[in-house]
Homo-oligomer: A and B are copies of this chain.
């Protein structure tokens, strides 16, 4: 252990222990504060200055095998970033990445965990830089970009480190095995186990949550001894470039090969992810994105352990409300449908309610009235443009706009999407949600994901029918999240029962400051692996344990 590595263990062991406790108790835990006021006052302004400086330049990243520059990011707020990144010759980069793996493996689980926590700590100090980087690649509003791409992503990374450490230290690393032989002396063997990495891990980043969705796989793979090559989405390179640069700095300072983490930026359309995914050195892949590429990876990258998060049809079952909870529930739903223009893999899309309406207090609220109440709530929430943009952010890419246009012709429009003018970025595309009413029979409409601010009020025969439809749709088309609103314990129990089979994570009667869209590290799972939306979750043992392998030796003691 280098002196520095020992220091890092001493410094970060308490953090690791707290995270290990949190993944067992599942109680509230956060290591990296989500409130910007917990950070130095000058950090936000310094980061804004940094962002202006970095625009139009070559991002400094000294990696082996660089054979050119690439990068053509454009901010969803309406300007080109003009940043270029090193482009890698994989035949040079991958061998260089593999070179440091033996020393990294031999450092052992505790040192690797400490180095990973140090990387996360360094990233935490860069949270405002990452916030600007995320805002101008994902289109999130600044406040959300700060929390989601910064401390929340860092907490998810720490959670993955804790799970990796727990899995690798599930048993001793050496033992004396003594087998009794009756009256003869026992057989004694000295045994030793090491946690061996699989190889190089590939992280394929997404456009909307490059760090939040990228860190779990990245840190799970790194903590288990693998090298990690990060392939960002061509529209969202900067947040991961900052991440990779930080990881390389910390690795080097701790006495390890910085090439254990590298960036593989590509030009749009280059398809470097496919090339990487089929390289024999690549033994782990984490992917967030489209069904098309996720399915391709699962079927073709046979040499690798593949973790995917793909599309889904997140669903809400609307049954009944206490009269005094109803307004809060409407406001809550409106926010869920609006946050970051519903460009979240966890945002609701399919709202199932009986065609006869929902019960509010003692009365039945007809379908059309509920639709109108919900539309009004969204209108109230987003009535002021400045407030609206702080919630909505910007439309991440033209595909969302195209989908919105198509949705205008679907079913009966309950709420039309309107453009909002961003007070600071007039060229940004900002759009409010569209809500359409359709029938349960229109499965060809709601039976797939409409990524973006598009949701459907789906008329069913009854709540029982809603629950059945929920279970079937999610089993077939996937979902990460679900919600139910009901005053009936039986309906809630039936929805839970359907959930255990469908494998979405269910929120019940939420009206407060936590939304179904939100999944908190150390407590909430993100995905289950039971339905097509994801083949795993952040984070459980199934997500970390296959990233390394125990190998043993034994000899007479």
Binding site for B on A (CB under 8 A): 23-28, 105, 166-167, 170-172, 175-181, 187, 189, 191, 193-194, 196, 198, 298-299, 302, 492, 496, 499-501, 503-514, 520, 523-525, 528-530, 537, 540-542, 545-546, 549-556
Closest to A542 in B: B545
Known: A24-B172, A194-B500, A542-B546. A187 touches B554 (CB 8 A): no
A407 to chain B, nearest CB (A): 30
Q: Which residues from chain B contact A105 at a C-beta distance below 8 Å?
A: 500
Closest to A530 in B: B549
Residue pair B510, A28 in contact (C-beta under 8 Å): no
Residue pair A552, B530 in contact (C-beta under 8 Å): no
Q: Which residues from chain B contact A505 at a C-beta distance below 8 Å?
A: 551-554
Residue pair A28, B177 in contact (C-beta under 8 Å): yes
Residue pair A496, B28 in contact (C-beta under 8 Å): no
Bound-state CA distance A529–B198 (Å) is 9
Closest to A534 in B: B549
Copy tally for this chain in the complex stands at 2
A520 to chain B, nearest CB (A): 7
Bound-state CA distance A549–B502 (Å) is 11
Q: Which residues from chain B contact A503 at a C-beta distance below 8 Å?
A: 196, 549, 551
Residue pair B555, A508 in contact (C-beta under 8 Å): yes
A37 to chain B, nearest CB (A): 10
Residue pair A545, B541 in contact (C-beta under 8 Å): yes
Residue pair A512, B187 in contact (C-beta under 8 Å): yes
Bound-state CA distance A505–B549 (Å) is 11
Q: Which 5 A-B pairs have the closest CB atoms?
A: A508-B555, A542-B545, A541-B545, A506-B553, A26-B175
A280 to chain B, nearest CB (A): 10
Residue pair A551, B523 in contact (C-beta under 8 Å): no
A44 to chain B, nearest CB (A): 19
Residue pair A514, B189 in contact (C-beta under 8 Å): yes
Known: A500-B196, A556-B512. A523 touches B191 (CB 8 A): yes
Bound-state CA distance A507–B501 (Å) is 45
Residue pair B500, A528 in contact (C-beta under 8 Å): no
Known: A191-B523, A546-B542. A26 touches B514 (CB 8 A): no
Identify A176's interface contact among B27, B302, B520, B546, CB under 8 A.
Answer: B27
